[in-house]
Amino acid sequence: MLMAMQLYGLYNENIIDVIIEGVHACTPLISIPIPGRVYCGLDDIHGLRHLVSKYNLRAAITHFKHDALLLSCSAVPGRLDVYENADDVPSSTLLHVAELDIGIRDIDRLKLFGLDTIGRLKSLSSAHLQAQYGSRGRRLFHFLHEGSDQALPMYVPPPSVVTMEHFDDAVDEPAQFIEALEQCLHRAIIELAQRHAWRVDVALVDRAGNTIHSRHRILRSGSNRKDQLVVHMHALIRKLTTKAVVCWGVRLRLASLRVPDSEQMSMFSTDTTFEDIITYMLPRYSHIIKRVTILNPWSVIPEEYAKISPWSNTSTYGDVDSGAPFR
């Protein structure tokens, strides 16, 4: 048996990373076919149940992946139950399986024929579904009659940067914790290179390196700058030292590492235009900037040749140079 969870659309990418880490602490067998969908083993069922309850997740346990997925889509958030199959799940649950491309009109058509549950829908053959829905019907048939091979791969956690400082003796002074963590942060930033961290974990450890207390923070935007990360690190260590704590070391972990999206830059510099200069000057000098409008370029009388008026944000540039000589 296996468990399925649906996270897509409920959490941002960084919180999903935290949930996946929690699942990995319960079982090494994890499959993530698309972002937000998780299949996993049942090595620590109590830990998984606690995780589902803590994050109010939709999850279900059954024999096959497609049944587990459909059951998790219709499950009560925060509960983890075991099912024999998904035959009693409403056929409208297929709307939540994006790769099937099933729309509300398709569901209405199924209901007209009395196919309002997955169990009844399974009674149709591939030819029946293909005749009604074409290639989508063929995909639906293969999804509902998925083979018995439900092997899950060993999960490989995403990269993270972990640094640690040990003390010669037990320490209970927050100032020493902060000093040690700043040394950890200095080494961690070097290891980050061009990657940005979206999560900061701080832990106090015992003599064997096991965690005594830990705190983590998910950042609103990734960073690899010391002045930004140190603020979050100090906030976390203050929360850890609200009570008297004795430890033999500190550990800093920068996780959810991602390379920032590249930006297209121009290879050639552009010359500053007259319009650019006016745009920069208007906010400050709009009351003294004047606009010259050519009235009659061939006139010898100044009043008939041009007009000088105040410049305004809504004005047009006018004919400032007609190419005719001033006589």
Is residue 171 within a helix (H) or strand (E), and if so which, with residue range?
A: strand 161-171
CA gap 156, 172 in Å, rounded: 36
Identify the pLDDT of residue 327. Answer: 37
State pLDDT tens for residues 114-169: 888 999 988 888 888 888 888 888 888 888 887 655 788 898 888 899 999 999 88
* 47 domain-assigned: yes
- Asked if residue 136 and residue 21 are part of one domain, the reply reads yes
- Asked if residue 135 and residue 11 are part of one domain, the reply reads yes
**Residue with the larger pLDDT of the pair 15 and 323:** 15
- Asked if residue 301 and residue 177 are part of one domain, the reply reads no
* 20 domain-assigned: yes
Question: Of the residues 91, 111, 144, which one is the last residue of a structural domain?
Answer: 144
On whether the CB atoms of residues 51 and 22 are closer than 8 A, the answer is yes
Bridging pattern class, strands 247-255 and 290-294:
unpaired
Question: Of the residues 196, 220, 255, which one is the last residue of a structural domain?
Answer: 255
Instruction: Report CA-CA distances (Å) from 139 to 35, 87, 118, 126, 169.
Output: 20, 18, 15, 9, 63
CA atoms within 13 A on the CB side of 218: 10
Give the other-Cβ count within 10 Å of 189's Cβ.
Answer: 19
* 266 domain-assigned: no
How confident is residue 44, by pLDDT bands cut at 50, 70 and 90? very high
Among 12-16, 175-179, 265-269, name the most confident range. Answer: 175-179
Q: What is the pTM of this model?
A: 0.65
Instruction: Report CA-CA distances (Å) from 279 to 4, 136, 160, 164, 313.
Output: 57, 55, 46, 53, 9
* 296 domain-assigned: yes
- Kindly tell me if the per-residue pLDDT of 174 is higher than 80: yes
How confident is residue 323, by pLDDT bands cut at 50, 70 and 90? very low
* 6 domain-assigned: yes
Instruction: Report CA-CA distances (Å) from 148 to 66, 83, 136, 145, 219.
Output: 11, 17, 22, 9, 41
How many domains is the chain partitioned into structurally? 3
- Asked if residue 251 and residue 275 are part of one domain, the reply reads no
CA gap 280, 288 in Å, rounded: 14
State pLDDT tens for residues 213-270: 888 888 888 889 999 999 999 999 888 887 778 899 999 999 988 887 765 555 556 6
Region 13-40 average pLDDT? 87
């003390």: which residue's tokens? Answer: 167
Per the structure, the complete domain to which residue 138 belongs is given by 2-144
